[in-house]
Amino acid sequence: MKVPAISLLAGTLFGAGLTISGMADPARVRAFLDLFGAWDPTLAFVMVGAMVPMAIAWLVQKRMPRPIVCEAFDLPGTSLLDAKLLGGASLFGIGWAIGGLCPGPALADLAIAPIEAGIFVAAMLAGMTAHRIITK
């Protein structure tokens, strides 16, 4: 039970951080992406704030033989650049701009605006399912 409990704690902190930072506010996300309007740089501060603990964590990780609780690190590769990466990120960027939501904030917003966030999350799951069917 210890491992899911740590994951729940991390998810809760993550959701709280998204909400406090403004990242879970579609209007603010849109304002950040709106270079030709009344540009709102807040999300740049969110990224800087998130980078600091994570950059330190990566430095610590290099010196650790294994994570504190689990048996081994299970991390993705870092170098492969392909059309899937570019195409996927491009489509994601379009959706992020249209809805003002990315996956984490959409899930956090289920607690705040369940109808709007629920519609988005349902469509997002449908998009993920479509990808699975196509790539099978």
Partner 1 sequence: MMLPGFPNATPVAGLVGGLLIGLAAAIMLLGLGRIAGVSGMLARASGISDTGTPRAIALAFIAGLPLGALLVILSSSSIRPLFTGSVLQLVIAGLLVGFGTRLGSGCTSGHGVCGLSRLSRRSMVATLTFMVSGFATVGLMRAFGFING
Which residues, numbered 67-96, are part of the site for partner 1 (CB under 8 A)? 67-81, 84-96
Query: Residue 116, interface with partner 1 (CB under 8 A)?
Result: yes
- Nearest-angstrom CA–CA distance, 80 and 34: 31
Closest CA to 101 of 7, 2, 21, 29: 29
SS3 for 78?
Answer: coil
Query: Residue 4, interface with partner 1 (CB under 8 A)?
Result: yes
- Minimum CB separation of residue 113 from partner 1 in Å reads 5
Neighbour count for residue 53 (Cβ, 10 Å)? 9
- Minimum CB separation of residue 13 from partner 1 in Å reads 4
- Minimum CB separation of residue 82 from partner 1 in Å reads 9
DSSP, res 25: -
Q: Which of residues 37-66 bind partner 1 (CB under 8 A)?
A: 37-58, 60-61, 64, 66
